[in-house]
Amino acid sequence: MSNVTVIGGNASGDLARRLARKLKAGFVGSNLRVFPDGEGKVTLLGKPKSGKIIVVNSTYPPVDSNLVYTLALISKASEYSNQITAVIPYLGYARQDREFLAGEVVTLSVIADLLKAAGASKMIVVDIHSQMGMRHFKIPIRNVSAIEELARYFKKMHLKDPLVVSPDSGGAKRAEIFAGFYGTKYIALKKQRDRRNGKVRIITSELDDVRGRDLILVDDMISTGGSIVKATEFLKKQKCRRVFVACTHALLIGDAERKIRKAGVTQIVSTNTIPGKTAAVDVAGIIAKAI
């Protein structure tokens, strides 16, 4: 794809390079300088070729800063092309896709307008939190899934009588798809979350079919890890063997990883939509196929 340039943002530089190699496209990096007052200045480290431009940058914490930097990159890219695909592997604010409580702003709708205004003509995201959220975008948007890649990774681990588990009923379909690729069965726990304070509790009764089995807890993202911790503690009481976690986006805010491991999780496996030591699965291939 000689007429394509991939621009990598500060939050997704390595993934952008991998994507450029997959596409056999040109690559332009960027530099971020943060001033003492907190403002950031983004500079392209090269000139994009004439043709299509793909801007790659996740908007994980600091979400607002990475969002502004992404908008700046898209805006700069629009000086060179009117065909700009914004690849935002982890899309911040995707959970704010509706008004849960009276008076709440549907922030994802605002983000969608900003991305279009900056110059994006298409978008690609990975495992967006809710498919409903894509209705806020007035440009073509495609959601690609990393579930098959995660399942492929776990198939190499040779687990004992594995069972896929969703930490809540809302993720049951995700667990079903993962289990299908893996070639095993799945179950979904039931939980309750207080919308005001965020506290979670498991309301599933005792389970007999997890005893002595290796379990794979599958989720789209892990933020503070509260749901994973509660699910793991519950499953350990049911005399399961080992508990593994598979997720696309490992935010792991604060000491979330420590809490998850303390609860009894053997290993966390995530993708490189968010770089980090748990990011063992590369999503450049599935993004390249979508492009």
pLDDT at 96: 93
Domain interval for residue 90: 4-144
Q: Give pLDDT tens digits for 125-142.
A: 999 988 889 999 999 999
Helical pair 107-118 and 63-77, crossing angle rounded to 10 deg? 30
The residue that leads in pLDDT, 4 or 202, is: 4
Q: Which two tokens stand for residue 197?
A: 């304070």
pLDDT at 204: 62
Q: Give pLDDT tens digits for 180-232.
A: 999 999 999 986 666 565 666 666 656 778 999 999 999 999 999 999 999 99
Nearest partner of 244 among 169, 182, 173, judged by Cα:
182
Strands 243-250, 186-188: parallel, antiparallel or unpaired by DSSP? unpaired
Tell whether 59 is covered by a domain. yes
Is 160 annotated in the active site? no
pLDDT at 256: 97
Tell whether 217 is covered by a domain. yes
- Residue 134 sits in the same domain as residue 178: no
Tell whether 286 is covered by a domain. no
- Residue 90 sits in the same domain as residue 10: yes
The residue that leads in pLDDT, 206 or 42, is: 42
- Residue 153 sits in the same domain as residue 134: no
Tell whether 73 is covered by a domain. yes
CATH number for 195:
3.40.50.2020
Nearest partner of 124 among 141, 136, 107, judged by Cα:
141
Tell whether 291 is covered by a domain. no
- Residue 111 sits in the same domain as residue 177: no
- Residue 10 sits in the same domain as residue 139: yes
Q: What is the chain's mean pLDDT, rounded?
A: 94
Residues 6+ apart with CB under 8 A from 119: 74, 75, 77, 78, 82, 84
- Residue 123 sits in the same domain as residue 167: no
CA dist., res. 282 & res. 233, Å (int): 29
Q: Is the peptide bond before 62 cis (omega within 30 degrees of 0)?
A: yes
In angstroms, the Cα distances linking 72 to 17, 86, 108, 114 are 19, 12, 18, 11
pLDDT at 39: 95
Of the chain, the percentage scoring pLDDT greater than 90 comes to: 88
Q: Give pLDDT tens digits for 146-184.
A: 999 999 999 999 899 999 999 988 899 999 999 999 999
Tell whether 268 is covered by a domain. yes
The pLDDT of 19-23, averaged and rounded, is 97
- Residue 165 sits in the same domain as residue 267: yes
The pLDDT of 279-286, averaged and rounded, is 98
The pLDDT of 70-80, averaged and rounded, is 97
Last residue of a domain, one of 100, 115, 144: 144
pLDDT at 131: 87
Strands 215-222, 163-166: parallel, antiparallel or unpaired by DSSP? parallel
- Residue 162 sits in the same domain as residue 131: no
Burial (Cβ within 10 Å: 0-12, 13-18, ≥19) of residue 41: exposed
- Residue 151 sits in the same domain as residue 56: no
Please identify which of the residues 155, 191, 236, 259 carries the catalytic annotation.
Answer: 191
- Residue 97 sits in the same domain as residue 181: no
pLDDT at 208: 74
The pLDDT of 41-66, averaged and rounded, is 96
- Residue 23 sits in the same domain as residue 135: yes
Q: Which two tokens stand for residue 66?
A: 């990475």
Number of domains in the chain: 2
Is pLDDT of 73 > 70? yes
The neighbouring-strand residues paired with 269 are 246
Q: What is the pTM of this model?
A: 0.92
